Amino acid sequence: RILDEKMNDYNRNMRQFHIARDERNERIAQGDAWNPGNSGSFLEKTRKVYYLIEVNMTLQEHIDNARNNNMELASIHSKEELDHILAVSKGQWSYIGAKRKHGVYNSSGNSSEWMWIDGSIWGSWESTRPPWGPEEPNNGYGHGLTEDAVVMNWGNMLGLWVDISPTVPHYAIYQVNYD
């Protein structure tokens, strides 16, 4: 029975993956990969504008898309930034610009394991620990995939982070310096 439930979950996830992939490919084919559909949201504290990119892409596709448009995935260093980006995300599951350091799997959630893609300092969070969801990060996806990327708003955990495979297509939050 447990095996049947796991297979049902896996099959449901694969169906969702294929639907998301087909939707993404259609939007990319229509030239829509860089249409954020909004004018962005400026945060004075960071002097950055944040955009929700409502196209399901893998982490690497988002990184490449952001760079092609002189942007990067969002890094988050404070509660104020988190709250602002949460509003931008509209509660959607969205990649942020964090990734696991190559080959490090200690589920600590700290700078020995994680880094910001934009090169900013992971340990600059204003509290002792970034807002990971319960029992996260856990590298717990299974099926041979490692969870080397970070998505916010997973399930009903608005604003909280979970580690996830970077090959799973999701929306993303991009940032660009305003100055």
pLDDT in tens, 9-21: 777 777 777 777 6
Identify the residue with better confidence: 27 or 96. Answer: 96
H helices within the chain, ranges in order? Answer: 2-29, 59-68, 79-89
Res. 58 pLDDT band, cuts 50 70 90 = very high
How far apart (Å, rounded) are the C-alpha atoms in residues 158 and 156? Answer: 6
73, 173 contact by CB (below 8 A): yes
Res. 118 pLDDT band, cuts 50 70 90 = very high
Q: Nearest CA to 176 among 75, 54, 104, 86?
A: 75
Report cis status (omega within 30 of 0) of the bond before 166. Answer: no
How far apart (Å, rounded) are the C-alpha atoms in residues 94 and 52? Answer: 8
Identify the residue with better confidence: 36 or 18. Answer: 18
46, 149 contact by CB (below 8 A): no
152, 94 contact by CB (below 8 A): yes
Average pLDDT over residues 35-44: 74
57, 93 contact by CB (below 8 A): no
With residue 52 as reference, give the H or E element that holds it: strand 48-57
Q: Which amino acid belongs to residue 141?
A: Y
Residue with tokens 């993956």: 17
pTM: 0.77
52 beta partners = 173
Average pLDDT over residues 50-65: 91
- Top mean pLDDT of 12-26, 115-129, 146-160 is at 146-160
73, 95 contact by CB (below 8 A): yes
